[in-house]
Amino acid sequence: SPVPLPPPQSSCWRRKRAEMITFNLDDGFTEAVVRGYRSGILSQGDYSNLGQCDGLEDMRMHLAVTDYGNFLQNEPSPLQTMTISEKCTEKLVEEFNYIRCNASAELAKFLDYITYGYMIDNVILLLTGTLHERDTSELLEKCHPLGKFQSLATLAITTSPKDAYKLVLVDTPLAVYAQKCFTESQDFTELNIEVIRNTLYKAYLEDFYAYTQKLGGATADVMGEILRFEADRRAINITINSLDTELTKEGRGELYCNFGDLYPEGVMRLERADTQDAVRQAVESFGQYRELFQEDQFNRDKSLEDWFFEYEVKLNKLAFEQQFQYGVFYAYMKLKEQEVRNIVWIAECISQDQKSRINQYIPIF
C-alpha cells in the first residue's frame, strides 16, 4: 500500500529567508531570462487580432510582429497548420535548451525532470505506434523533441514490457520509473500499454513531487500546488476513462498518485466509483473541483479537458507571482505549450472555415 509522504516543509521560514539571499547566486540569470520570455506570451489583444485573420498568411503576418518574429519567414506559402505548430514548438524547445544550458546543477536537475514527462509520452507513442504497425520514422517525427533520446527508435523492435525495459529503458532516466511496471513478459496490448503509461506517469509524478518538496521554500509551495493538481487531474481522468472497461477497481487504485488534494479520501472514493455520478460525488466536496461537473452540465461546448486546461493555466500564471523559485520554469513551459495549442486551434479554425468556434482557445494573459 502506498506510504503517504511527509507533509511539505515549506513553512520553514529559515529556509525561505536563506533562499531569498542566495537564489540569485545560481539562478538569477535564468530566472530573469524566463521572466523575459514570459512577457513574450501572446496577449489578449494578439489573440483577438489573430482571430480576425482571413488566412494563415495573415496569421504569419501578425505573428511576425509578436515575439515569434521571423520564425516562419523561410516557409514557402501556402502555409500549413502543421508547419506553424512545428515551428512554434521548435522555438519553445530552443528557449528551453537555452535555459537548460545556462542552468545551475540544481536547476538543471529540475529542468530534466520536466523533460521526463515528454520522454514518457514519446515512449508510449512509440509503443502504441508499433503495436498498430506504423512506420518507425513517421512515429519519430511525431515525438516531442524535448523527450527524444538516443535509443528511442529501438523501442520499435521490442515486443514485451520486459524486453523494452531490458533493451532500452534501462539506460534512460526513466529506468527508475520503468523498473516497477515493465515486468511482464507477455506481449504488448492496448490495455497494458495504457496501464504502463499511467504507472510510469504515477511514478514520475511522485518522484517529481518528492523532489520539489525536498527543494523546499517557495519552489515547494508553487510546484506542490501545480503537481497536486496534476495528480488530481490524472486521478479523475483515469476514473472516468476506465468506468466501463475491463480494468479492475484494484488495478485502477494502483494508478492513483499517493499525493494530491484528493488524496487519500477522494482517491478512495474515486476507486470505488462505478458511474459518472459517483465520480462527481467523490470530487464535489473539494472546493476547487466543485464547479467542474456543474459547469459541464450547463455548458456543453466546454469539455472537462478545457476546464482542466483553464485551471492549469490559472495555477501556472500564479507561479509567476512568487520570486526565487523554480516553479516559473515549469509554469513557463506549460503556458507556452498552451499557447502553441491555442495558435494551432485558431489556425485550424481559420483554415477549416469554422470561425464561430475560434474563441474556444484558452486565454493566458
Partner 1 sequence: HPSPPWDESWPQTWSACLAGVNLVSCEALTCPVASHSRNSASLCRSRLCFQFLGYNPGSEKIEVLRRLGYRRRIARKNSDELSPDHHSLLPLTQATPRARKAEKQAKKVNNMSQFRSEEMLYVQMFIQNDAAHDTLHELGAIGAIQFKDLNKDKSAFQKMFVQDVRKCEDMLRIIRYLKSEMESEKMMSRTSGVPVPKLSSLNELHDRLQELEKEMKEHSTSYKQLLAQRKELSEHLQVLRNASKWFGQANRSGVSFTAPTAGGDEDVGRGAGEMSALLEEGEQSRRPPSMLGHIAGCIPTHNVKDFAVTLFRATRGNMHLKHEELEEVKGMSGEENELKSVFIVYFSGERSRQKIDKICEAFAATKYSLPDTAAGQERTVQEVNERMKDLEIVVARTETYRRQKLSSVVEMVEEWEEQVEREKGVCHTLNKFNYDVSMKALIAEGWCAESAMDDVRRALRAGTLKSGATVQTVLNVLKTREAPPTYFKSSKVTAGFQAIVDAYGMARYQEFNPAVFTFITFPFLFGVMFGDIGHGIMMTMAGGLIILFEKQLKAAAANDMFGTIYDGRYNIFMMGLFATYAGFIYNELFSVPLEALGSTMWCSGEMDDPSCLNIPGINASTSLQKWIRTNINEAYDFKTQQSTGVEVSWDIYPMGQDPGWSHTANKLNSANSFKMKF
Give the nearest distance from C-beta 76 to partner 1 in angstroms. 7
Nearer to partner 1, 125 or 195 (CB): 125
Q: Does 295 sit near partner 1 (CB under 8 A)?
A: no
Whether the CB-CB separation of 224 and 206 falls below 8 Å is answered with no
Q: Does 154 sit near partner 1 (CB under 8 A)?
A: yes
The angle, 0 to 180 degrees and rounded to 10, between the axes of the packed helices 290-298 and 276-284 is 140
Give the nearest distance from C-beta 237 to partner 1 in angstroms. 32
Residues 35-94 that bind partner 1 (CB under 8 A): 49, 52-54, 57-58, 61-62, 64-65, 73-74, 76-77
Q: Write down the H helix ranges in 39-76.
A: 44-51, 56-64
Q: Does 168 sit near partner 1 (CB under 8 A)?
A: yes
Nearer to partner 1, 2 or 55 (CB): 55
Residues 202-261 that bind partner 1 (CB under 8 A): none
- Please pick, from the candidates 93, 131, 156, 278, the single residue that binds partner 1 as defined by CB under 8 A: 156
The angle, 0 to 180 degrees and rounded to 10, between the axes of the packed helices 217-241 and 276-284 is 160
Three-class SS state of 4: coil
Which of 67-72's residues contact partners 24+ apart within 8 Å by CB, and which partners? 67/40, 67/41
Give the nearest distance from C-beta 21 to partner 1 in angstroms. 37
Nearer to partner 1, 104 or 154 (CB): 154
Smallest Cα–Cα separation from 224: which of 215, 212, 214?
A: 212
Site string for partner 1, 126-145 (x = CB under 8 A): ----------x---------
Nearer to partner 1, 154 or 192 (CB): 154
Give the nearest distance from C-beta 111 to partner 1 in angstroms. 23
Nearer to partner 1, 79 or 257 (CB): 79
Side chain identity at 267, as an amino acid letter? V
List Cα–Cα distances, 117 to 35, 111, 245, 279, 328, in angstroms: 23, 11, 26, 26, 17
Nearer to partner 1, 1 or 70 (CB): 70
Stretch that binds partner 1, among 160-168, 209-217, 230-238, 309-317 (CB under 8 A): 160-168
Nearer to partner 1, 158 or 316 (CB): 158
- In angstroms, rounded to a whole number, what is the distance separating the alpha carbons of residues 187 and 193? 10
Whether the CB-CB separation of 324 and 20 falls below 8 Å is answered with yes
List Cα–Cα distances, 2 to 5, 13, 189, 223, 255, in angstroms: 9, 30, 27, 21, 11
Whether the CB-CB separation of 40 and 245 falls below 8 Å is answered with no
Residues of this chain that bind partner 1 (CB under 8 A): 49, 52-54, 57-58, 61-62, 64-65, 73-74, 76-77, 136, 150-151, 153-154, 156-157, 166-168, 171
